[in-house]
Amino acid sequence: MKKTLYDLTKEDWNTLFPIELVDHNPEWKNIYENEKQRILEKIGQEKILRIEHFGSSSITSVKSKPYIDLMIEIPKD
């Protein structure tokens, strides 16, 4: 019988989806800025209220997962 996601134990999750924490990489800020510009160029500034880099990779003093989290705020209408 196959396990579903609901049947997985904490150990199963850690084996299947390990979390890697690394030291802060100063280049992450540049990666974020480049991605932000690419998004604005493709979609247009008038359709986006703001784009923010958030999550642990935006905090210079902590270890984090090596992913750049972006939040894009758009108008309600």
Q: Is 4 helix (H, G, I), strand (E, B) or coil?
A: coil
Average pLDDT over residues 16-38: 96
Summarised one tens digit per residue, pLDDT across range 43-54 is 998 899 999 999
Model-level pTM? 0.78
- CA–CA separation, 1 and 77 (whole Å): 48
- 75 closest CA partner among 44, 54, 53: 44
**Quick check: 3 pLDDT over 90?**
no
Q: In which band, very low, low, confident or very high, does the pLDDT at 5 lie, cut at 50, 70 and 90?
A: confident
> Residue 65: what are its φ and ψ, rounded to 5°?
-70, 140
